[in-house]
Structure 1
Amino acid sequence: MAHERDAQESFVAALRRLGEARRRARTALVEPPPPRPKAPPAGRAGRDLPAAIGVGVALLVVVALSLFTRPEAFVVLVVVAASGALWELARAFLQRGIKIPLLPLWVGTIGIVVSAWAAGPEAMLMAFVLTAGGVFIWRVLDGGGRAAVRDASAGMFAAAYVPLLAGFAVLMLALDDGPWIVVAFILVTIGNDIGGYVAGVLFGRTPMAPSISPKKSWEGLAGSVLMSAALGAAMMALVLGGTWWSGALLGVAAVAAATTGDLAESLLKRDLGLKDMGSLLPGHGGIMDRLDSLLVCAPVCYVILSAATGQLTF
Structure 2
Amino acid sequence: MKRILTAIVLISFVLALVYFDKPWTIALVAAAIAMLSALEYRKFAEAGGCPLPLWWVTFAIAAFFFATFYRPKDMITIISFVTLVLFSVSALKTKLECVLWETAAGLLMLVYIAYPLTLLPQILNEENGTALLIFLFLCVWSGDTAAMYVGKHFGKHKFAPRLSPNKTWEGAAASVVASCVFGMAMVLGGDWLTATGSSFTRLHTSEPWWAYLLLAVALNAAAQFGDLLESALKRGAGIKDSGTILPGHGGILDRIDALLVAAPVLWLVLVVKQAISPGSF
Q: TM-score of the superposition, structure 2-length normalised?
A: 0.85
Deviation of the 1:290 alpha carbon: 0.8
Aligned residues of 1:136 and 1:156 also touching (Cα < 8 A): no
Cross-structure match for 1:185:
136
Aligned residues of 2:63 and 2:78 also touching (Cα < 8 A): yes
Cross-structure match for 2:160:
209
Cross-structure match for 2:42:
90
Aligned residues of 1:233 and 1:246 also touching (Cα < 8 A): no
Report which stretch shifted further, 265-274 or 134-143.
134-143
Q: Quote the Cα distance in structure 2 between the aligned partners of 1:306 and 1:53.
A: 36
1:101 equivalent to 2:53? Answer yes
**Alignment length, in residue pairs?**
263
Consecutive unaligned residues of structure 1, counting only runs of 5 or more, are 1-49
Cross-structure match for 2:31:
79
Deviation of the 1:279 alpha carbon: 0.6
Q: Which of the numbers 61, 64, 74 marks the counterpart of 2:12?
A: 61
Q: Quote the Cα distance in structure 2 between the aligned partners of 1:124 and 1:291.
A: 22
Higher relative contact order (CA 8 A, sep 6+): 2
Letter in 1 for 2:59: V
Cross-structure match for 1:275:
240
Aligned residues of 2:44 and 2:233 also touching (Cα < 8 A): no
Letter in 1 for 2:186: M
Cross-structure match for 2:86:
135
> Structure 1 residues 236 and 134, CA, compared in 2 at 3 Å: closer, same or farther?
farther
Cross-structure match for 2:212:
247
Letter in 1 for 2:211: S
Aligned residues of 1:200 and 1:216 also touching (Cα < 8 A): yes
Cross-structure match for 1:13:
none
Where do 1:220-235 residues align within 5 Å? 220-235=171-186
Describe the SS at the equivalent of 2:257: helix
Cross-structure match for 1:117:
69
1:266 equivalent to 2:217? Answer no
Where do 1:148-159 residues align within 5 Å? 148-159=99-110
Deviation of the 1:261 alpha carbon: 1.0
Q: Quote the Cα distance in structure 1 between the aligned partners of 2:12 and 2:257.
A: 20
Consecutive unaligned residues of structure 2, counting only runs of 5 or more, are 191-202
Aligned residues of 1:172 and 1:306 also touching (Cα < 8 A): no
> Structure 1 residues 307 and 191, CA, compared in 2 at 3 Å: closer, same or farther?
farther
Q: Quote the Cα distance in structure 1 between the aligned partners of 2:136 and 2:268.
A: 11
Deviation of the 1:151 alpha carbon: 1.4
Describe the SS at the equivalent of 2:258: helix
Aligned residues of 1:104 and 1:138 also touching (Cα < 8 A): no
Sequence identity (%): 29
Q: Quote the Cα distance in structure 2 between the aligned partners of 1:143 and 1:98.
A: 9
1:286 equivalent to 2:238? Answer no
Cross-structure match for 1:38:
none
Aligned residues of 2:56 and 2:86 also touching (Cα < 8 A): yes
Aligned residues of 2:157 and 2:170 also touching (Cα < 8 A): yes
Deviation of the 1:68 alpha carbon: 2.8
Deviation of the 1:308 alpha carbon: 6.3
Q: Quote the Cα distance in structure 2 between the aligned partners of 1:180 and 1:227.
A: 18
Describe the SS at the equivalent of 2:151: helix
Whichever of the two has the greater Rg, that structure is: 1
> Structure 1 residues 162 and 196, CA, compared in 2 at 3 Å: closer, same or farther?
same
Q: Quote the Cα distance in structure 1 between the aligned partners of 2:184 and 2:133.
A: 15
Deviation of the 1:293 alpha carbon: 0.6
